[in-house]
Amino acid sequence: MDKTDQLIIQILREDARRSNTEIAQKLNLSESAVRRRIANLVLGGIIKKFTIEVDDPQLTSAVTWIAVSPSVPTSQVSGKIRGVAGVETVYETAGQFDIAVVIKGANIVEVNKSVEGIRRVDGVINTNTMMILRTIR
């Protein structure tokens, strides 16, 4: 991945709906070159998916930090956590906690159900959940 690929990724991070033509104009490339580069980034697994992020003020959100037992592979635990209802995103981390999870639910009761589901996953030895009060963009 070269500097041009990195610039394309940055543009798509800011707005995944940008057309190849717009990206090409911004980077002084042809539309076909941008299309080919994006296709190669997808084929190479660098770009995994194109998605949207919705800011729904009606949803309740939380971040849960998870400590994993040393006897259980973190990747195994994070895979199981991904299947818990309400889990939006799973990050494997370094430091005091092994996994960070973003949870979204209709209300605090739904978020709490997700946290309880996470706590039942084999290998989870400790959790620390913080409610998200406001998103600043």
What pLDDT, on a 0 to 100 scale, did the predictor assign at position 135?
A: 78
What pLDDT, on a 0 to 100 scale, did the predictor assign at position 55?
A: 65
Per-residue model confidence as pLDDT tens digits over 52-87: 766 666 788 999 999 999 999 999 999 999 999 999
What pLDDT, on a 0 to 100 scale, did the predictor assign at position 105?
A: 92
Per-residue model confidence as pLDDT tens digits over 2-38: 999 999 999 998 888 899 999 999 999 999 999 999 9
What pLDDT, on a 0 to 100 scale, did the predictor assign at position 79?
A: 96
DSSP string of 62-127? EEEEEEE-TTS-HHHHHHHHHTSTTEEEEEE--SS-SEEEEEEESSHHHHHHHHHHHHTSTTEEEE
Give residue 9's region: left, alpha or beta (phi > 0; psi -120 to 50): alpha
What are the extents of the domains in the chain?
3-43, 60-132
CATH annotation of 3-43: 1.10.10
1 pLDDT higher than 70: yes
Per-residue model confidence as pLDDT tens digits over 82-117: 999 999 999 999 999 999 999 999 899 999 999 999
What pLDDT, on a 0 to 100 scale, did the predictor assign at position 54?
A: 66
CATH annotation of 60-132: 3.30.70.920
What pLDDT, on a 0 to 100 scale, did the predictor assign at position 3?
A: 94
Name the residue among 111, 65, 67 with its Cα closest to residue 87.
111
